[in-house]
């Protein structure tokens, strides 16, 4: 037992090490963004969206995915995942913050972000997204409060920072009766139920944000919202598999959860692959040059390795093998590794959506007409872009790590 | 799964599904009511006085790029921002012939795909003359409109400057007449960080109703399609023309004579 605990603490140490290094890496990115605007970024007027937008849709996917897994517990009463219900909610909250930070940095005028609340144009999917994010964030915060209220009241008088935090977050509530707890859970159920359509709408909505752009045939497909939703579920589930095996006593306690999540993620991943294959085949066999140009870039462009290596081999083939092969699928460690690989692979998928869709001359000869590094179909994120994205990941990890430390023990 | 842990009955499950559906519908209807203009018809025909547009004779274009320079000088656009560009295409099997030159401003489409996607209505089609404009003070710089434009007619101002007109030089103090706002270029101030585009030089037309021509070959014709006697209307009646990517239904206001 003590050896197992030691192993866990090593994993947590690795987590904190990565988190802090990543956070420090981000300082340069934020400095560059805040003082030099977009000058250091490598996207331009042809590839208008780059790494930050890809990171944004990736994080929203993680958020929607983990929220929907948490709602399995709080709406559908799926007892097996009960232990990770709270962690899943926190993951949804933290990844949502990461998503909003990414897209905030991407704006040309960061200080005008409030415009979308005051002057929304509801013909634009983006305005819908903002409305949905706001509702979704308030809903998650309320849900976290009502899920945790009982624990806050109970743990109010413990020593140290935990007690103080609990006292603060209980907001003066003192009632620890069973009756009140039942009422809390009813509220949670209501909020979580309300959250399901919202989470589906906003992760599908991000897909719609891309899908409605008829000028970009690579995005313009009715499958896009569904693909985004599926990828969200896959990445969220995969991330939770990993989290369940490291946090909340990790594999010592959560073996069953990890295995169960692994099975769920495998099914979702296979459906996701099915949809992608469908999208690919219809586009390719349709054979319209403008439509296949995006896929051509994906499968044989300069960054084909992102598709074949990163998204395909690391993010899809190996995990499917690990989750399906009868020896590895019963080993929580292998399942957790599969979760890590899938969560990493979906990032490649997000990059492969954003960049190949844009990296095409809309007017033949445009890139030759102007000699400017802003008018080119080449794109590789700059150091400041990488740095800022890694920094946001570090920030999210630190926030999550702290929050997780103060979650109540489930043995209580 | 253990039989004792039977989680929910089908009835409960269906009841939950019904609740989810109902809340989803309620959210949608609620938001739709909040956004009153969701189904409103935007362009009121009676407000429309002019339909400005261009007719460009590609046979007459010699590829001198005077239009590009004139635009740069007029609007004082920074590097990487070109309200018009001249693309050239060498003809197949005729490498020694004059290539096809094509100048490409913003097409000021009648159904612009770029305006509807703006989350803050910062870019819109002017009701009186159909010119697609950007409100620099409202634009947040999300660049969604750039992805939505099928003609690459929109440009993001990254805040870069030509070396000769770097910030503290006298040149940098010359304002741009765009939208008659006469902004002096400063770091981090609009239009830096905004999406910019061709305005059909509307700061010139509002007063004079005419367009400065720098085109050496008289290939570019500018005018009002609502006036049946304007040069552009006559040209469209008499000549064969194409418009780019008509299949997208954008209905561009720039025609190419062939």
- Out of B104, B117, B138, closest to residue A124 by CB: B117
Question: Phi, psi at residue B86, to the nearest 5°?
Answer: -115, 115
pLDDT at A176 over 80: no
Task: Report yes or no: B176 and B76 within 8 Å, Cβ to Cβ.
Answer: yes
pLDDT at B1 over 80: no
Q: What is the average per-residue pLDDT within A32-54?
A: 93
Q: What is the average per-residue pLDDT within B99-123?
A: 94
pLDDT at A234 over 90: yes
Within 13 A of A312's CA, how many CA atoms are on the CB side?
Answer: 12
CB contact under 8 A, B7 and A77: yes
| Mean pLDDT rounded to a whole number for chain B | 84
DSSP 8-state symbol, B175 = P
| Mean pLDDT rounded to a whole number for chain A | 90
CA–CA distance from B57 to each of B5, B53, B70 (Å)?
A: 77, 13, 18
Q: To probe the interface with A, which of B119, B150, B163, B192 has the most A CB atoms within 10 Å?
A: B119
Q: Which chain A residue is nearest to residue B89, measuring alpha carbons? A: A365
Q: Does domain A2-405 have CATH number 1.20.1630.10?
A: yes
Cα torsion angle, B119, B120, B126, B127, sign: positive
Q: What token pair was written down for A59?
A: 């994080």
List of residues 6+ apart from A165 with CB closer than 8 A: A406
What gap in Å lies between CA A247 and CA B161, rounded to an integer? 50
Task: Report yes or no: B205 and B52 within 8 Å, Cβ to Cβ.
Answer: yes
In chain A, where the domains are located = 2-405
In A103-162, the residues whose Cβ lies within 8 Å of chain B are 106-109, 112-113, 115-116, 119-128, 130-131, 135
- Out of A45, A198, A215, closest to residue B27 by CB: A198
Higher-confidence position of B236 and A247: B236
Helix (H, G, I), strand (E, B) or coil at A358: helix
Task: Give the DSSP H or E segment for B156.
Answer: strand B154-156
Q: What CA dihedral angle connects A60, A66, A72 and A75, to 10 degrees?
A: -60
Q: To probe the interface with B, which of A54, A124, A359, A385 has the most B CB atoms within 10 Å?
A: A124
- Out of B21, B147, B248, closest to residue A49 by CB: B147
List of residues 6+ apart from B178 with CB closer than 8 A: B75, B191, B199, B203
- Strand B123-125 and strand B85-89: the pairing is unpaired
Model confidence at A8, in pLDDT bands (50, 70, 90)? low
Q: What is the average per-residue pLDDT within A309-338?
A: 92
Model confidence at A81, in pLDDT bands (50, 70, 90)? confident
Buried residues in A157-188 as b, exposed as e (16+ CB within 10 A): eeeeeeeebbbebbeeeeeeeeeebeebeebb
Q: A212: which chain B residues are within 8 Å (Cβ-Cβ)?
A: 117
- Out of B5, B27, B155, closest to residue A45 by CB: B155
Give tens-digit pLDDT for A332-381: 899 999 999 999 999 999 999 999 999 999 998 899 898 888 999 999 99
pLDDT for position A1: 46
pLDDT at A152 over 90: no
Closest-CA distance of chain A to residue B229, Å: 32
What gap in Å lies between CA A210 and CA A212, rounded to an integer? 6
B140 — contact with chain A (CB < 8 Å)?
Answer: yes
- Burial (CB < 10 A; 0-12, 13-18, 19+), residue A2, is exposed
Q: A78: which chain B residues are within 8 Å (Cβ-Cβ)?
A: 7
Q: What is the average per-residue pLDDT within A156-162?
A: 76
Task: Report yes or no: A145 and A155 within 8 Å, Cβ to Cβ.
Answer: no
Lowest mean pLDDT across A121-125, A267-271, B7-11, B109-113: B7-11
Radius of gyration of chain A (CA): 22
Model confidence at A276, in pLDDT bands (50, 70, 90)? very high
Give tens-digit pLDDT for B225-249: 999 999 999 999 999 999 999 999 9
CATH of B45-257, one of 3.40.50.1860, 3.90.600.10, 3.30.70.20, 3.20.20.140: 3.30.70.20
């Amino acid at each position: 037992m003590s050896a197992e605990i030691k192993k866990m603490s090593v994993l947590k140490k690795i987590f904190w090490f990565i988190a802090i290094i990543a956070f420090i890496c981000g300082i340069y990115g934020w400095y560059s963004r805040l003082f030099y605007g977009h000058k250091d970024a490598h996207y331009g007027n042809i590839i208008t969206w780059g790494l930050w937008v890809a990171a944004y849709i990736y994080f929203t996917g993680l958020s929607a995915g983990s929220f929907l897994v948490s709602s399995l517990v709080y709406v559908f009463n799926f007892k097996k995942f009960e232990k990770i219900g709270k962690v899943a909610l926190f993951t949804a909250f933290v990844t949502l913050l990461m998503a909003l930070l990414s897209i905030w940095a991407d704006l040309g005028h960061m200080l005008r972000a409030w415009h979308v609340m005051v002057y929304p144009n509801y013909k634009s999917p983006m305005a819908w997204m903002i409305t949905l994010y706001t509702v979704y964030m308030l809903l998650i915060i309320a849900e976290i409060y009502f899920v945790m209220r009982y624990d806050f009241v109970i743990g109010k008088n413990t020593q140290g920072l935990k007690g103080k935090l609990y006292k603060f977050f209980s907001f003066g509530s003192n009632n620890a009766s069973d009756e009140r707890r039942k009422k809390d859970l009813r509220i949670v159920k209501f909020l979580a139920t309300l959250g399901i359509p919202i989470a589906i709408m906003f992760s599908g909505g991000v897909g719609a944000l891309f899908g409605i752009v008829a000028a970009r045939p690579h995005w313009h497909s009715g499958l896009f919202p569904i693909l985004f939703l599926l990828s969200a579920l896959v990445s969220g589930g995969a991330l939770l598999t990993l989290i369940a095996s490291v946090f909340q006593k990790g594999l010592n306690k959560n073996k069953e959860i990890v295995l169960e999540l692994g099975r769920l993620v495998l099914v979702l991943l296979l459906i996701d692959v099915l949809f992608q294959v469908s999208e690919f085949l219809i586009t390719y066999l349709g054979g319209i040059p403008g439509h296949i140009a995006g896929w051509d870039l994906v499968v044989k462009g300069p960054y084909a390795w992102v598709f074949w290596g990163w998204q395909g081999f690391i993010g899809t083939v190996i995990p499917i093998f690990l989750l399906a092969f009868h020896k590895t699928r019963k080993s929580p460690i292998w399942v957790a590794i599969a979760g890590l690989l899938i969560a990493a692979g979906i990032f490649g998928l997000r990059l492969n959506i954003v960049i190949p869709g844009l990296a095409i001359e809309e007017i033949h000869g445009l890139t030759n007409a102007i000699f400017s590094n802003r008018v080119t179909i080449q794109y590789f994120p700059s150091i400041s872009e990488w740095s800022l994205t890694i920094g946001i990941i570090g920030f999210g990890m630190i926030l999550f790590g702290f929050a997780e430390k103060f979650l109540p023990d489930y043995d209580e | 799964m253990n039989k004792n842990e039977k989680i929910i009955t089908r009835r409960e499950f269906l009841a939950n599904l019904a609740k989810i559906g109902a809340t989803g519908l309620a959210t949608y209807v609620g938001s739709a009511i909040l956004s009153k203009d969701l189904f409103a018809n935007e362009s009121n025909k009676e407000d429309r006085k002019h339909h400005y547009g261009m007719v460009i004779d590609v046979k007459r274009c010699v590829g001198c790029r005077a239009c590009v320079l004139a635009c740069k000088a007029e609007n004082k656009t920074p590097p990487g921002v070109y309200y018009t560009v001249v693309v050239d295409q060498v003809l197949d099997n005729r490498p020694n012939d004059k290539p096809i030159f094509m100048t490409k401003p913003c097409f000021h489409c009648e159904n612009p795909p770029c305006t509807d996607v703006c989350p803050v209505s910062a870019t819109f089609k002017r009701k009186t003359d159909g010119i697609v404009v950007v409100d620099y003070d409202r634009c947040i710089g999300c660049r969604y409109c750039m992805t939505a434009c099928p003609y690459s007619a929109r440009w993001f101002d990254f805040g870069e400057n030509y070396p000769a007109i770097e910030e503290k030089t006298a040149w940098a103090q010359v304002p741009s007449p765009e939208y008659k706002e006469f902004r002096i270029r400063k770091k981090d101030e609009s239009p830096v960080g905004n999406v910019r585009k061709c305005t059909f030089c509307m700061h010139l037309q509002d007063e004079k109703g005419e367009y400065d021509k720098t085109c050496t070959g008289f290939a570019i014709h500018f005018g009002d399609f609502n006036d049946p006697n304007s040069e552009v209307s006559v040209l469209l009646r008499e000549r064969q023309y194409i418009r780019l990517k008509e299949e997208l239904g954008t209905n561009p206001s720039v025609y190419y004579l062939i």
